[in-house]
Structure 1
Amino acid sequence: MAISAKLVKELREKTGAGMMDCKKALEACDGDIEASFDWLREKGIAKSAKKADRIAAEGLSAFAINGNVAAMVEVNSETDFVAKNAEFVALVNTVCEAVAANNPADLEAAKAIEVDGKTLETTIAEASGKIGEKLSLRRIKTFTKDDNEVFGAYSHMGGKMVSIVKLADATEEKAKDIAMHVAAINPKYISQDEIPQAEKDREDAVQTEIMANDPKLANKPEKVLEGIKRGKLNKVFSEWCLLDQEFIKTPKETVAKYLGNSKVLEIARFQVGEGIEKKEENFAEEVAAQMKQ
């Protein structure tokens, strides 16, 4: 039977499951809402939807390389305990390998990738229902390279942080070294040419204000003050940019010097949970509240 958009919407509101999952459920159950709800529950999809208000800030990141495509993903869980679960680790690797194999345009396209007849979104939802925690594919990043370019990838702390770089005129060993540096230092840009002018202007204003409030600089000539400010700005911008940073393996030389004729084309770094506001637990208050019940 034909499944109307109204019916799909009704099931979505009842379960919180995705539109495509609701449509599949209704098609499988001949449009019966209750049977479709049970169908989603059996697959763990409706059950996981009830966890939508929970904060999933733990989890794992991973990388995978498939020929001239490299991918990195972050899959979140609610607790670090689940992140160490072998089933969850296998799920993250499956997701990452699928992303590398299909090179999706964005996160939504990644969720729609099918593995063994199921979309990644459904696979993650089913795992969520089985494991008992909210799981979510938070973000992806893919790279493509030419045959004469190389990827470097690095995973730290068992997947709490991953990085990938793409280099030209370089060896895989050198690329991995740069990926390790990116993971450790987290540069904002490759070179100072990439810093937006607005960001440079903002930092200029900050340094100008700092210097204006420094009594030691009160009687310095304008030309001297400009020289001091240039030095301060150059120090800040160098700290932001990969090529100007001191290389972690040989701190007496910059990354640019270590690279020699090699060129860094792209860099990316994921750290699990960065930017997610985590819920702070106050166990004393929680116990006290339970005692009053």
Structure 2
Amino acid sequence: MAITAAQVKELRDSTGAGMMDAKKALTETDGDMEAAVDWLRAKGLAKAAKKSGRTAAEGLAAVATKGGVGVVVEVNSETDFVARNADFQSMVAEIAQVALGVEGDVEALKAAPMNGKTVAEIITDKVATIGENMGLRRFERVEADAVSAYVHNAVAPGMGKIGVLVAIRTGAPAAAAEIGRQVAMHVAATSPASLSEADLDPALVEREKQVLTEQARESGKPDSVIDKMIVGRMNKYFQEVCLLKQAFVINPDLTVEAAVAEAGKAVGTEMTVTSFARLAVGEGVEKEEEDFAAEVAKTLKG
């Protein structure tokens, strides 16, 4: 029998299953709604949907590079235990490889083909298999003559809690590998806000300037002096948050920009960092905290 869009919507609303899974369930059961729900439950797809509301703030950041292309993806799970599961790690590693061929955003990666399905469908299947909510949260891609990658707190090759990429423009890509990795380690440690002053969010700059101005006014000095104070303090701010201006952690006497330039001179070529990407697992996700004592007290009062 013909399956209508209304039937598919009803099944999706009641089970949380994906559109294609809902349509297939109805097709397999000749449009019988209850049987379709049971079909989805048997396949584990309805079970996966029920978990979609739970916070997934753990997981892994995985990096992959090929030639002058580098990608870093963040795939989340509910617990760190699952992040250490070999099946989960295998899936994340494969998603990173698929990402090398995707030039769009994270939605494009979710829709990309992987083992006969989309990446999003593969993740849904894994939710049903492992029994935890999961999700592909972020995806970054960089391109340059040379791309270096670094993973902090690695739990498996190419994946851990922080994934970093550094792109370098150079005439000697192979020679840039070591300094690129060092800069990637620096990025993991310092989490710069931007590559340079020109890349900073203007709203962020203005907000910082306003705070510094109010602080300077507390000194009671005249406006002409305050203006000079603000210039100096903003320059210090740029040195703290802009990658190229930061003191290089491996040699604080040099800025990152100068350290990379010197590495290039050592092999007779120019080297310049053109972009970077840094993804830390769970960054910005509000984790659910369970207060066991409060829960017990609430139960006793009831």
Same fold (TM over 0.5): yes
Q: 1:66 & 1:28 partners in 2: Cα distance?
A: 42
Identity of aligned residues (%): 46
Q: Trace 1:1-80 onto structure 2 (pairs within 5 A).
A: 2-80=2-80
Inter-CA distance 196–129: structure 2 relative to 1 (3 Å threshold): closer
Q: Secondary structure at the match of 1:252?
A: strand
Q: Trace 1:23-172 onto structure 2 (pairs within 5 A).
A: 23-100=23-100, 102-145=101-144, 149-158=145-154, 159-169=160-170, 171-172=176-177
Q: Which segment drifts farther, 248-257 or 106-115? A: 106-115
RMSD value, Cα: 2.1
The AA in structure 1 aligned to 2:147 is: F
Q: 2:216 & 2:230 partners in 1: Cα distance?
A: 8
The AA in structure 1 aligned to 2:247 is: E
Q: 1:138 & 1:123 partners in 2: Cα distance?
A: 14
Instruction: Check conservation: 1:64, 1:97, Cα contact below 8 A.
Output: yes
Q: Secondary structure at the match of 2:251?
A: coil
Inter-CA distance 66–6: structure 2 relative to 1 (3 Å threshold): farther
Cα offset for 1:290? Answer: 5.6
Q: 2:130 & 2:138 partners in 1: Cα distance?
A: 21
Q: 1:174 & 1:51 partners in 2: Cα distance?
A: 43
Q: 1:240 & 1:75 partners in 2: Cα distance?
A: 27
Q: 2:273 & 2:216 partners in 1: Cα distance?
A: 35
The AA in structure 2 aligned to 1:139 is: R
Q: 1:64 & 1:25 partners in 2: Cα distance?
A: 36
Cα offset for 1:227? Answer: 1.9
Instruction: Check conservation: 2:63, 2:163, Cα contact below 8 A.
Output: yes
Instruction: Check conservation: 2:78, 2:134, Cα contact below 8 A.
Output: yes
Q: Trace 1:209-224 onto structure 2 (pairs within 5 A).
A: 209-214=214-219, 218=220, 220-224=221-225
Cα offset for 1:81? Answer: 1.6
- Residue number in structure 2 paired with 1:238: 239
Instruction: Check conservation: 1:76, 1:135, Cα contact below 8 A.
Output: yes
Q: 1:30 & 1:88 partners in 2: Cα distance?
A: 35
The AA in structure 2 aligned to 1:243 is: L
Q: Trace 1:183-222 onto structure 2 (pairs within 5 A).
A: 183-214=188-219, 218=220, 220-222=221-223
- Residue number in structure 2 paired with 1:283: 292
Identify unmatched segments of 5+ residues in structure 1. Answer: none
Instruction: Check conservation: 2:59, 2:79, Cα contact below 8 A.
Output: yes
Q: Secondary structure at the match of 1:281?
A: coil
- Are residue 270 (structure 1) and residue 275 (structure 2) matched? no
Inter-CA distance 206–151: structure 2 relative to 1 (3 Å threshold): same
Q: 2:21 & 2:126 partners in 1: Cα distance?
A: 15
